[in-house]
Chains A and B, each alone.
Chain A
Amino acid sequence: MNSIFGHHTIHQFDEELKALHNQIIEMGELVLNQLCLSLESVKYMDLSLAQGIIDREKVVDEMEVSADKTICAILVRRCPKGSDLRQVLSASKIVNCLEQIGDKVVKLANFVVLMHTTEQVNTHYFSLEDIYRLGGVSTEIVQSALEAFEDMDVEQARQVVQYHLTLDQEFQKALHHLIDFLQAEKSNVNNTVSQVLMMKALERIGEHARQIAELVIYQLEGQEPTHHLPDLVEDFPVDGL
């Protein structure tokens, strides 16, 4: 990534910031790939694919540790200020978001493993269409947030923050479907709980992607990410209940 102001007087500092940026892009690509594969493993109840995702989570964790070391070294050696400081602070938080997304992806994969273990591979009882739709929106948000980070595109980052609202709506829709399912006794409680947890994981993935987009905006413009005090009504788990 080229600084808008050209090179630092200490050129090595440019290299270190660039290396950090690339580390995060690499970690983001892996996490996005894991997310796509996890949705595929859910779709086809593919056990080996799910186990591969769980195995690769170690690599995501290692990448987080490595990025943290780079961030620590830059803080100690360079005492960054201004946009450099914002870049390092954002990087630290984005790495954490990516690691959290990785954890949620593993939850999805674990679900597939659980289904195989308990021999409930028949997904007839699940309204998986909701999962696919939610997964699709989450994947799009993560991908778009990572593109905004890679290109340092503040407009795209703002679009991600807006688009995240769609995910909330999809989540609420899916919850209502599930309640209908339960009321019609087409699904048992165990399966419903599993599905809610999967949906919640996907909703959280989208939330972390939104945070990444807000951090891109912070890095570029210094605008602090917004924090809303949750309203009791708005924070209620299901709309309209």
Chain B
Amino acid sequence: MHLNATTTYNSMQTDMSAIDLTLPSSSLFNFQISRDRDNDLVAFGLPRMQCANVSVYYDSKLAVDDVNLKILRNEVLALIGPSGCGKSTLLRCLNRMNDTIQGCRVSGKITLDDQDIYASDMDVVPLRVRVGMVFQKPNPFPKSIYDNIAMAPRLHGLASTKAEFDEIVETSLRRAGLWDEVKDRLKQAGTGLSGGQQQRLCIARTIAVNPEVILMDEPCSALDPIATAKIEQLIDELRKQYTIVIVTHSMQQAARVSQRTAFFHLGKIIEVGATEKIFTNPSEELTERYITGHFG
């Protein structure tokens, strides 16, 4: 019997789509990557956040120059680029952390689910609940591990009984992969943990208020390789539930944890694309020069 290769191949494809659940990378994304227009807002589908013509000034100095960027649901977007290129500035704009910096001015539009986060009636407190942040250096409160997690839910009235708080603390610590290590010393100070544990505590603290987007500004730069690996594993797990934007100087880390990568240079986005493409065959010469270590 002669096999019809085309028919067989097509039927295999049909079969594969039926078992797509075994392929988390396909099943978890609700977007497609355009192969033709990688540099031009590559994502289709509903973005969680969107930056349109965003420029940021520190007094008269232009730090971010007319940036357009979509941040998609359940993706890890890595922002890379040399120091001073504006990636951290843009990150901080995403939950208006730059509001506290004197002389900082933001133009353009940043939306979270189509809601302008710089609108005059936008309250930054609930905004920062929805868009949480993890900083470069672990910064637990000088309180117990339990209180580090319970403080924000208490402030925002997310729980009222001790049982509810206990549940939030346990769930957050479990999601952050820290529960087994600290469950017997919840009353001890969070500052007594190791650097890697402190950073995971900060992540647990961030997710305790159930945010939608998590911003991470070089979260592993102060950690050893094992602690870094734990955080990266955590990022991969958190992606299933949250949208994550990470600024990192480690291109290896960007390659390991992200689905898309944006390369910044002198305040501009030079290229945005699927991480595999950015690190194997970028479209822009400047990106190629940066990732191959010719400058930066």
Q: Do A and B bind each other?
A: yes
A residues contacting B by CB (< 8 A) are 3, 5-10, 13, 79-86, 222, 229, 231-232
Contact in complex: A82, B252 (CB < 8 Å): no
Q: Using known A-B contacts A9-B294, A79-B252, determine if residue A85 contacts B5 with beta carbons closer than 8 Å.
A: no
Give 12 A-B pairs besides A8-B293, A81-B280, A82-B280 with Cβ atoms closer than 8 angstroms: A3-B294, A5-B285, A5-B289, A8-B292, A9-B293, A81-B291, A82-B287, A83-B292, A84-B292, A85-B279, A222-B281, A229-B5
**Min distance, Cβ B283 to any Cβ of chain A, angstroms:** 9
Across-interface contacts of A3 in B (CB, < 8 A): 292, 294
A107 to B222, CA, bound (A): 58
Within 8 Å CB of B293, what residues of A? Answer: 8-10, 13
Contact, CB under 8 Å: B5 / A231: yes
Considering only CB atoms, which chain A residue lies closest to B250 in the complex? Answer: A79
Interface of B, helix, strand, loop or mixed by DSSP: helix
Chain B residues within 8 Å of A83, by CB: 288, 292
Interface centre among A3, A5, A13, A229 (most CB of B within 10 A): A5
Q: Specify the chain A residue showing the minimal Cβ separation from B283.
A: A222
Closest beta carbon of chain B to A226's beta carbon, Å = 16
Q: Which residue of A lies closest to B295 (CB)?
A: A9
Answer yes or no: B219 CB below 8 A from chain A CBs. Answer: no
A85 touches B280 (CB 8 A): yes
10 contacts between A and B (CB under 8 A): A5-B292, A5-B294, A9-B294, A9-B296, A13-B293, A81-B292, A82-B280, A85-B280, A86-B280, A232-B2
Q: How many residues on the B side are at the interface (Cβ–Cβ under 8 A)? A: 21
Task: Give the distance to chain A from B6, nearest Cβ to Cβ, in Å.
Answer: 9
**B5, B251, B288: which has the most chain A beta carbons within 10 Å?**
B288
Q: Are B288 and A82 in contact (CB under 8 A)?
A: yes
Residues of chain A with a CB closer than 8 A to B292's CB: 3, 5, 8, 80-84
Residue of B nearest to A218 (CB): B281
Contact B279 A82 (CB under 8 A): yes
Report the minimal beta-carbon distance from B32 to chain A, rounded to whole angstroms: 19
Q: Interface on B for A, CB 8 Å cutoff?
A: 2-3, 5, 9, 251-252, 255, 279-282, 285, 287-289, 291-296
Question: In whole angstroms, what is the CA distance A13 to B296 when docked?
Answer: 16
CA distance A3 to B282 in the complex (A): 16
Q: How far is the CA of A10 from the CA of B296 in the complex (A)?
A: 11
Instruction: Tell me which residues across on chain B come within 8 A of A222, comparing CB atoms.
Output: 280-281
Instruction: Please determine whether B5 and A81 come into contact, CB atoms closer than 8 angstroms.
Output: no
Cβ contact within 8 Å between A232 and B5: yes
Contact A6 B294 (CB under 8 A): yes
Task: Evaluate whether A82 and B291 lie within 8 angstroms (CB atoms) in the complex, with A9-B296, A222-B280, A222-B281 already known.
Answer: yes
B5 x A86 contact (CB < 8 A): no
User: Residues of A contacting B289 with CB < 8 Å?
Assistant: 5
Bound-complex Cα distance A3 to B281 (A): 15
Which of chain A's residues has its CB closest to B2's CB?
A232
CB-nearest residue of chain A to B5: A229
CA distance A83 to B281 in the complex (A): 7
Chain A residue contacts of B291, Cβ below 8 A: 81-82
Q: Which residues of A contact B288 (CB under 8 A)?
A: 5, 82-83
- Cα A232 to Cα B291 in complex, Å, equals 44
B9 near A82 (CB under 8 angstroms)?
Answer: no
Question: What is the minimal beta-carbon distance from A93 to any residue of chain B, in angstroms?
Answer: 15
What 6 A-B pairs come out closest when comparing CB atoms?
A: A222-B281, A81-B291, A82-B292, A5-B294, A81-B279, A82-B288
Look across to chain A and name the residue whose beta carbon is closest to the beta carbon of B4.
A232
Query: Using Cβ atoms and an 8 Å threshold, which residues of chain B touch A13?
Result: 293
Q: Across the interface, which residues of A come within 8 angstroms of B280, CB to CB? A: 81-82, 85-86, 222
- Chain A residues lying within 8 Å of B3, measured Cβ to Cβ, are 232
Q: Within the assembled complex, what's the spacing in Å between the Cα atoms of A13 and B294?
A: 11
Of B280, B289, B292, most A-chain CB atoms within 10 Å: B292
- The answer on a CB contact under 8 Å between A229 and B294 is no
A231 and chain B: residue at smallest CB distance = B5
The complex places the Cα of A232 from the Cα of B124 at a distance, in Å, of: 66
A31 to B277, CA, bound (A): 34
- The interface residues of chain B lying within 8 Å CB-to-CB of A7 are 294
Enumerate chain A residues within 8 angstroms of B9, measured Cβ to Cβ.
229
